[in-house]
Every structure is written in structure tokens, then in C-alpha cells.
Structure 1
């Protein structure tokens, strides 16, 4: 929730007439260490994207996926030139994508204040579970990368 608050993922507003907000739920996970013992507990807020309606809550959902042969070629080039390779996992990647549609979501369970109980979350950024989350993150990532003068490969847009 701290990262969602930091990224200003939503604003609380009165629900517009005739709009059915998308639901949300918490997904819980136990992270195991090398010794198969529980090391940490994690919780992630996920939108119930299956309740979204095409043409109303989203338009496009396409997001490119890197081809395995492109990854192998890049790794071979890196090995040949003795380049250092880093693998990264951006835990809050989807929170960086902006939502273009007007999407309203129910308030998360456990984070509803008594005086604002009737309000809904007006999403400013995408969250896991939305049908267009991958695409909105990819659009933002593409803009940032192009800002550093990188260009897309015609054969594989993920390279």
C-alpha cells in the first residue's frame, strides 16, 4: 500500500451515476527460503479485471512479448563481448503505467475510512488484474526508453 500511495494510484471520489466499479481483492503469498521455511508473507492488491467490459472499461490490451530467440541472441552477443548482464525484477512495474480510460474501483478491504465509506477509487495508474495493465506499463516503459534515444527493433519490438 505504501507504493500505491507513493505513486498516487487512485483518488477517492463519489461514485458517478450509472458506473459500476471494478472490484478488488487481496492476494496473499508465503515466500519460502532455501530451507523451505517461510521467510516472509506478502500481500498484493489485485483488481478483478474479469468484471471489466470491453469498450467501456478498456479498449486495447495488447502488449508485446520478447521472443526466446531474441533473448538467446542478446545473451550470445553479451557473452562474446564479455558484457556484464543484470537481471532485475521491478515489483511495482504496473504502477508506473497510466490508465487512459475512466476506471473506478471499490475501496480495498481494510482501507475504508468510516467518513469516506461510500466513495470509490478513481484509478490514475494501472494495477495488477486490469485487462490493460500490461499495455499501459509497456507504453510508459517505451516512452522512457525512447527518451534515452533507444529505438525498437523491427523484427522484435521488445529488443
Structure 2
């Protein structure tokens, strides 16, 4: 399948007033065909009741909250199909301008990118001894006699809280080894 792509440009203002310019190559997933280019598009997203419950629990127990963002989250997972993309504007080969590129990673805009990323992060959290909640698949819990740590996923962002800062710091360190993370708040 040959996928159409485009560049998306964004201007972000930082809290100190400075400006960041960002560009992202994005697949135009609306041109994908079910059964040919993708099967699954569903990816769990944190329920608002889970967000409220975690914030309430953290406030009532005096737990700190950490908010993390995984940079370029969708690029961490290989895709399960043969997908080819047009050469991006500004990066066309002068020698072979009509060639297409074989896409090896899920990129933003592909219909399979969100479930692929969720599968990757869920697998990693499971490896770190966290279990998915039966009430909300995007809530991961590590619980034993003394430790209780909660991780709530919302696409490529996560909230972490719990009663054991040493375990939370260990998890943050392990996540940072595997994924490029941005600590938004602590």
C-alpha cells in the first residue's frame, strides 16, 4: 500500500516565553483501507473517572503526582504490515523522484499507530511487574503488602502516583532507559 504523507508544523510557546518550532511527518491515515492496511484501530485511553479517582486518591493520601510525556511515542513500535510512503517534500531523491520508501515504524497518522504504541508500553509495564486494571485497561497498578504505585496512560502521556517514591523513581528511570521521556511535572 502506498501511503500519502504530509508535514505538520507547530509553534509551541514555553512557560518562559521562548518559542519552539516543531515539524512532524504524518501519514494521512484516512486513505488507509480496513483489512488491507490495518485491522485494529482501538487503543485504550484513560477514562475520566480514572483520572478523577487517581487525583482524589493522591490528594487524600498526600501522594505526589508525576506527569510524563513519551517523545515520539509512535516511533517505538514496528508496524505489522508492508506500507510504503511517498518521499516527503524536501527529501525527494533527485536520482529517483518517483520511488517510494518502505515504512518500518508506526508514524503519527497511521491507523495502527495508537494500538501498536499501547501494546508496546503495556508490555513494558507488565515486564516491570505492573498489572492492568480490569476497570480501566489504561490504568496499571503495582501492589504488594507495602507498595502501591499507579500509572495512568493517555496516549503518549502518563500520570504516576503512589506511596513509594523509591519505586516511582525506579520506574521513571527504567522508562527513561527504554523511551525518551519528558518530565512535565513532579
Q: TM-score, normalised by structure 2?
A: 0.68
Query: Which runs of 5 or more structure 2 residues have no equivalent in the other structure?
Result: 140-186
Give, in angstroms, the shift of residue 132 of structure 1: 1.3
Query: Which runs of 5 or more structure 1 residues have no equivalent in the other structure?
Result: 1-19
2:8: which partner in 1?
Answer: 27
Task: Please list the CA deviations of residues 3-41 of structure 1 after superposition, one character each: whole Å capped at 9, or x if unmatched.
Answer: xxxxxxxxxxxxxxxxx4101000112223569x77122
Task: Please list the CA deviations of residues 69-110 of structure 1 after superposition, one character each: whole Å capped at 9, or x if unmatched.
Answer: 111111222223322211122230111122111111111111
CA RMSD of aligned residues (A): 1.8
Name the structure, 1 or 2, with higher relative contact order (CA <8 Å, separation 6+).
1
1:79: which partner in 2?
Answer: 59
1:126: which partner in 2?
Answer: 106
Moved more, 101-110 or 75-84: 75-84
Task: Please list the CA deviations of residues 42-94 of structure 1 after superposition, one character each: whole Å capped at 9, or x if unmatched.
Answer: 21110011111111111110101111111111122222332221112223011
- Would you say 1:99 and 2:102 are equivalent positions? no
Q: Secondary structure at the match of 2:132?
A: coil
1:7: which partner in 2?
Answer: none
Q: TM-score, normalised by structure 1?
A: 0.79
